[in-house]
Amino acid sequence: MLFKLTHLSLGLMILNRSYAQSVRDKYTVQIPESERLALEGIVEDDPGDQMSIMKDWESPEYPLIYRNPLPIPPVLEPKLKITNPVTGKEIWYYEMEIKPFTQAVYPTLRPARLVGYNGISPGPTVMVPRGTESVIRFINNADKENSVHLHGSPSRAPFDGWADDLTFPGEYKDYYFPNNQAARFLWYHDHAVHITAENANFGQAGAYLITDSAEDALGLPSGYGEFDIPLVLASKYYNEDGTLQSVLGEEQSSWGDVIHVNGQPWPFLNVQPRKYRLRFLNAALSRNFALYFVKSSAQNTRIPFQVIATDAGLTTHPVQTSDLYVSVAERYEIVFDFSGFAGQTLELKNFPQANGIGTDDDYEHTDKVMRFVVSSDPVQDDSRVPEVLRAPTAPLETNSPASTGIDHHFRFHRHNSEWRINDVGFADEKNRILAKVPRGKIEIWELENGSGGWTHPIHVHLVDFKVLERYGSESTRGVMPYEAAGLKDVVWLGRHETVLVEAHYAPWDGVYMFHCHNLIHEDHDMMAAFNVTQLSNWGYNETDFSDPEDPRFSARPYNRADLTGRAGPFTEQAIEETVRDLALLQPYSQLEEVEELLEEAWRENPNQKRDERCEQPAAGPIPRYRRFVV
């Protein structure tokens, strides 16, 4: 038996190696020489590469599985609508205070103390129509510093939640967002250096929906909280007394044994026998999900459903599947039709270790997510799922691949017990910019998870990418059909997997992060940056927003009395002035002009060279990290 297995996997490996080769043959490799040398020098820790066995509770046993209703995060109303002095359009101004609150999770134990946006978790849902800019003032009234990232938004660098752009307790920062994208499910969450996992675990994450008329016209199931339901997944550990376990000091992963949906462990939702739009967001620290639906009375038969959206909004067409991988930070939206299940209960379940692609620790109940209780009375359902959801997006979907070669190769690995990318971590300030991409260029990046003992969901800020290929010594799944039908901003590198992602590095220049979204890995220190550099023949004036630590946009101190009494910076007049001053700098209002000029610059000079200028390696003490520059 063992002999046979070995032969089988050896055969698979040879087969997959030749597939990897044939993929590589399709693309020219044009990575910088310094990057090639750095890759050669990497020494990896031994991952051990073994599957763990299923465990019993680590938290106190949770007695109310499927007994509490699913909470729906409330929609946040803008506090003010201010006219943009440049465009004449409205800017919606919101406020969120980051503050402690308690939640009684276990009925007979102490309540957990959490810290969330406006004192709830998930935070309130922001819902803005496409084309309406927003400014959100995040006020830190907590006990730790924060930084806010609107995940999936092409925000200017100073508003992108750069990990070192911190807001300390007693400070606030105004974030300006474009909302120029087609309808999609963004989310806002903490990104503070080294404590992102802790802040997210204790509650700092929320949904942010851009809506538009094109999507509304499709006739999909609609009505936030009614037939359009956000499902924010998380997985946590509790202490014996019912309080939430801290993850400070954890440097491997925090899998969690208590699955939450919208902040409630294993909830149920009463539904009607009709179609629902369900919006999944994996907001866990480390756990990846492989989701499927079954009837409670037939646990072995998976029920098919239609995927209609990815991280970047609608897929081009619905994709039918009966299981769905959702690694950390990914969003997938589905339409599930309950009409055939009147009077029955259904369960949303999770495959252990994601069917072998993950390495997550499993517990007795981590195979369960939530229950749907379908009422027996028939209802009228006029919603539909059209066969075409949108046109392909140029250039990535109209011409695939839209460029010719592999521009960068990034290996996500572990060395000396530290998580790194090409042997660099975020703390290595001199070397953490691993790519310089000329503004407007289309690049292919190869993202590699060499080791089998860990997996990494990779997020690239600023851009949407197309997942072109997935291969690896033990990977046979390729690009999932629902992944291929849309654009993404997170891609999962499963065990031994390598992917090719292609993105258009536009429209903004500036320094942005890319990193593993297993937040424990991200904090310790699997995060680096890329610099979208200005074109030399650009000849165009705009305000410089390229520096994520630009002091013009840094957090500012406030007095508690000013906030509660709406005085000082919190009067309507002061807010209007601040927002108008920001708008006058035109962070987003020149978008069309910028895009046109970028296109023109590339048409006239298609061979814009990579900017190879770089700093001298720093003199001084021997660095913690191997150093190299792009």
Ligand X SMILES: *[C@@H]1O[C@H](CO)[C@@H](O)[C@H](O)[C@H]1NC(C)=O
Beta bridge partners of 268: 69, 371
Rounded least distance, CB 624 to ligand X, Å: 19
Q: Which is nearer to Cu ion, 281 or 516 (CB)?
A: 516
With respect to ligand X, which residue has the nearer C-beta, 319 or 447? 447
User: Which of the listed partners (ligand X, Cu ion, none) does 586 bind, with a CB threshold of 5 to 8 Å by partner kind?
Assistant: none
Residues in the interface with ligand X (CB under 6 A) total: 15
Contacts (CB under 6 A) with ligand X, residues 278-317: none
Nearest distance, CB of residue 76 and Cu ion, angstroms: 31
Of 122, 299, 268, the closest CA to residue 208 belongs to: 122
**Is the Cβ of residue 419 or residue 558 nearer to Cu ion in the bound state?**
419
Tokens representing 584 are 């006058």
- Among 397, 443, 448, 523, which residue interacts with ligand X (rule: CB under 6 A)? 448
Stretch that binds Cu ion, among 129-137, 321-329, 350-358, 516-524 (CB under 5 A): 516-524
Within positions 474 to 503, which residues make up the interface with ligand X, using CB under 6 A?
Answer: 496, 498
Contacts of residue 135, defined as CB under 8 A and 6 or more positions apart, other chains included, come to 82, 91, 92, 93, 94, 174, 175, 176, 177, 579, 582
**Which CA distances in Å does 342 have to 267, 295, 347, 348, 376?**
19, 11, 14, 17, 4
Number of Cβ within a 10 Å radius of residue 610: 16
262 binds Cu ion (CB under 5 A): no
Q: How many residues sit in the footprint of Cu ion (CB under 5 A)?
A: 4
Where in 432-491 is the site for Cu ion (CB under 5 A)?
456
Q: Which of 91, 447, 513, 516 binds Cu ion (CB under 5 A)?
A: 516
Shortest Cβ 58–Cu ion spacing (Å): 21
Q: CB under 5 to 8 A by kind: which of Cu ion, ligand X, none does 357 bind?
A: none
Decide if 151 contacts 126 (C-beta within 8 A): no
Q: What is the DSSP string of 7-58?
A: HHHHHHHHHHHHHHHHHHHHSEE---HHHHHHHHT--PPP----PPPPB--S
- The answer to the question of residue 130 lying near Cu ion (CB under 5 A) is no
| Residue closer to ligand X (CB basis): 124 or 358 | 358
| DSSP string over 343-367 | T-EEEEEE-GGGGGT-----BTTTT
What residues numbered 551-570 form the site for ligand X, per CB under 6 A? none
Q: Please, what is the minimum distance in Å from the beta carbon of residue 517 to ligand X?
A: 20
x/- track of binding to ligand X for residues 525-544 (CB under 6 A): ------x-xx------x---
CB 554 within 8 A of CB 455: no
189 near Cu ion, judged by CB under 5 A = no
DSSP 207-221: EEEEE-HHHHTTT-S
Binding partner of 531, given ligand X, Cu ion, none, CB within 5-8 angstroms per partner class: ligand X
What tokens does 5 get? 């297995």
Among 192, 334, 370, 433, binds ligand X (CB under 6 A): 433
Provide the Cα torsion 361, 366, 369, 374; round to 10°. Answer: 150
- Which of Cu ion, ligand X, none sits in contact with 310, Cβ below 5 to 8 A by type? none
Q: If DSSP codes are grouped into helix, strand and coil, which group holds residue 289?
A: strand
CB of 181 to ligand X, least distance (A): 24
**362 or 525: whose CB is closer to Cu ion?**
525
Nearest residue (CB) to ligand X, 331 versus 496: 496
343: region left, alpha or beta (phi > 0 left; psi from -120 to 50 alpha): left
Least distance to ligand X, CB of residue 167, Å: 21
Kindly provide the b/e burial profile for residues 36-56, where b requires at least 16 CB atoms within 10 angstroms of the residue's own CB: eebbeeeeeeebeeebeeeee
Interface region with Cu ion, contact rule CB under 5 A, candidates 46-54, 214-222, 323-331, 521-529: 521-529
The stretch near Cu ion (CB under 5 A) out of 129-137, 254-262, 470-478, 519-527 is 519-527
Q: What count of other Cβ atoms lies within 10 Å of the Cβ of residue 430? A: 15
Q: Take residue 83 and report the two structure tokens written for it.
A: 């006219």
For residue 521, the partner it binds in Cu ion, ligand X, none, with Cβ less than 5 to 8 A by kind, is Cu ion
The tokens for 481 are 């059909």
Position among 12, 13, 20, 72 found at the interface with ligand X (CB under 6 A): 20
Q: Which is nearer to ligand X, 19 or 101 (CB)?
A: 19
Please tell me whether residue 187 adopts helix, strand or coil conformation.
strand
Q: Closer to Cu ion at the Cβ: 200 or 335? A: 200
Query: How many C-beta neighbours within 10 Å does residue 129 have?
Result: 15
Contact 291, 348 (CB under 8 A): yes
**One of 288, 518, 531, 590 touching Cu ion (CB under 5 A):** 518
Binding site for ligand X (CB under 6 A): 20, 433, 448, 450, 471-473, 496, 498, 509, 511, 531, 533-534, 541
Binding site for Cu ion (CB under 5 A): 456, 516, 518, 521
